[in-house]
Chain A
Amino acid sequence: MSHVRGFGRFWWDFVVGDDWRLAAGGLVALAAAGLVANTSIPAWWVAPSIVIVTLVASLGHATPVDRRDPHG
């Protein structure tokens, strides 16, 4: 049982890592690109835009202004 839990834990850390928003954003980016690709609108811009918004959101969440390492 502990091996199963360890295996699950590994995949969770691997895919989700420090911030679940990144994996969720990646999923939403591809799903939204797929939806737009099924219409007549060009869809190449969808995933990159969502990926960038996701990264900005994750960084914004990780860096409340007083968290900067004074020695960094």
Chain B
Amino acid sequence: MHTVVLAAAAFLACAVEMVEALTIVLAVGVTRGWRSVRLGVLAALATLALVVAVLGPALTVLPLNTLRVVVGFLLLALGLQWVRKAILRTAGYIPLHDEQKIFDREVADASAATSVAHGHFDWYAFTLSFKGVFLEGLEVAFIVVTFGAAHDDFSLMIGAATAALVVVVAIGALVHRPLSRVPENSMKFGVGIMLTTFGTFWGSEGVGVSWPGADAAILVLLVLYTSVAFALVRWLQRRGSDRLDTIGQAT
């Protein structure tokens, strides 16, 4: 069960970040041509693989409890950021992530940039696609490395991330449009809660806490954090509408 939740978190995190990277890659490719874009994507994926290959074994050198504290803290910090943003988006305090809007903006930027003669290498397209894939992929690489190190199973996490990459790239190649129908906010919400859960579980274990029920505590934490997150969404929505009612009565 523990392993299934971990693999699901790695899959979802990779899928959601790759949807965002795909939007940038498609916008640049459609506008400036695919040759330099393809090279940029391959270079970024190779760099990410290198990050995983170097950081993964480096982390496993740490004593187990130190590793759990470090990994637990980093997952908590990252997970809480994702949950916070997802709650704010769901409650209507910040706009939802809109892939179509981002795609249109990227197309406009890429069209406005200086074009290159046919057959020449397009550094603008290469850099933009490299940056898009590398930056979006770094968080995934980090999740794969930390989950792999803490769970002592890199192959499963790499497999889950690769499966998500293949699915997103295949859909992107078929539709040639940004994947605006993917429920990104819900996916980020779920992954954020999973990261926070594992961060709490491993970090606490690392500082000497014994969990009642051992691994079963992960599910309890998952349910607890999910319930709290939804309660917070409702609280913020009510707070917002109370405020609007007050303004309405005053005017």
Contacts and interface: CB of A to CB of B under 8 A. Distances in A.
Interface residues of B, number: 49
Given A55-B228, A66-B243, A29 B84 contact: no
A15 B72 contact: no
Nearest to A48: B200
Contacts of A16: 77
B80 A54 contact: yes
Interface of A: 10, 14-19, 22-23, 25-27, 29-31, 33-34, 37-38, 42-44, 46-48, 51-52, 54-56, 58-59, 62-63, 65-69, 71-72
A18 B85 contact: yes
Interface of B is mostly: helix
Contacts of A54: 80
B208 A43 contact: yes
Interface of B: 69, 72-74, 76-78, 80-81, 83-85, 87-89, 91-96, 138-139, 142, 196, 199-200, 203-204, 206-212, 217, 221, 224-225, 228-229, 232, 236, 239-240, 242-244
Contacts, number: 134
Interface of A is mostly: helix
A55 B232 contact: yes
Nearest to B199: A26
A62 B78 CA distance: 17
A37 B207 contact: yes
Q: Which are the 7 A-B pairs with shortest beta-carbon distances?
A: A34-B207, A72-B92, A26-B76, A68-B240, A37-B208, A17-B81, A65-B243
Contacts of B76: 22, 26, 29-30, 51
A44 B204 contact: yes
Contact of B203 (A42, A47, A63, A65): A47
A50 to B, nearest CB: 9
